[in-house]
Amino acid sequence: MMRVVQVNKFGDTSGLVDAETKIPEPKEREIRVKINYAGFNPVSCKIRKGEFGGSCPIILGEDFSGVVNEVGKYASSLKKGDPVYGMSFVKCSNGSNAEYTCVIEELVHKKPENISFKEASSVPLAVLTAYKAIIASNAVKKGDTVFLTGIGGGVGSFAVQFLRHLEVKAIYTVAKDETSKQFIEEKLQIPSENILIYDGLSTTEREQQLIKMNDNSPFDTTLDFIGGDAKELCIQLTKCSGNLVTILPEDEKFKTPGWGGPVFMKNMTVTQVFVGAELHSEDRGRYLIYQQYLSKITKFIEDGVLKMPEILSLGSLSAKTVKKAHGLLESSRVKGKLVMEIA
């Protein structure tokens, strides 16, 4: 048996409970990992609330690091004892809020040698999202001026590093207050003059001030890592024939339609990024893209191109720890990444 934290009912965090269940057995092309650390992501909160459907009980958690404990009959990329990191997302036995998980081998990779298990657990979903949004999308090029929202989170922290790797001209962003601005300046090395404190400003006022900060010009590329009003701001800030990349969907109430609105009138290219897209394909060959991306990301980390974000370990595997993580994530005030020790 293994210890887990599971959702017994969709809704608030009261549905998160400690439990025990059978240790999963890997299928033919799966890897079983004994988890050392698990990372937390905002999508877990949405799953907990039932926004993606499904049924309870369910074990949440998308990121993990640990050691290969068993391999399926036809899994060939890893062997027992390998230190790994990966993503327990869609194609898995259960999430990483558990002592073990079985995951298709395409979603697991050897851990970078120069980072710890704790650090590795903060990487997969956030860095894959940033990689898809910036590198794989080809939406950003050398010399661009770039505006992004959600810079302080895991995705934003990695995104800034990818942008610098591409040698963009300048990176601009917003902060709610002086404390957030100081974090962005000190931890992410964004110049003070490129950060707008937005508290109390309307979307129109934010747009006007940011364009003024960028030499009275709209931006070549905007990156939306928050959604809602932030996406609206990105649309307004993007230049004609520019690029907008977003990682969040919107419902039918979103007030800026693509057809006939500013997206069309400015001839903008909009790239919507969903990390799990290929996992919903019936063609298993499409899953290989994850191995390719994780291999490149591992090299970026080992070569020093990517540094780890701020990491806060909240405690050991328990419903209390997971509830704390969800509360912090839903406050939208998390800087960097939250993780939990399992082993």
Residues 171 and 75 reside in one and the same domain: no
Residues 95 and 188 reside in one and the same domain: no
In contact, 126 and 134? CB cutoff 8 Å: no
Residues 92 and 166 reside in one and the same domain: no
Q: For the chain, which ranges sit under pLDDT 50?
A: none
> Is residue 57 reached through a cis peptide bond, with omega within 30 degrees of 0 on the bond before it?
yes
pLDDT of 336 reads 85
Closest CA to 97 of 326, 308, 290, 274: 326
96 is in which domain, residue-wise?
2-125+277-341
The total number of structural domains in the chain stands at 2
pLDDT of 255 reads 66
pLDDT of 57 reads 95
Residues 97 and 185 reside in one and the same domain: no
pLDDT of 24 reads 97
With residue 162 as reference, give the H or E element that holds it: helix 154-165
DSSP 8-62: SSSSSGGGEEEEEEPPPPP-TTEEEEEEEEEE--HHHHHHHTTTT---SSEE---
Question: In a 3-state reduction of DSSP, which class is residue 68?
Answer: strand
pTM confidence score: 0.93
Closest CA to 341 of 104, 153, 96: 96
Residues 299 and 260 reside in one and the same domain: no
pLDDT of 246 reads 95
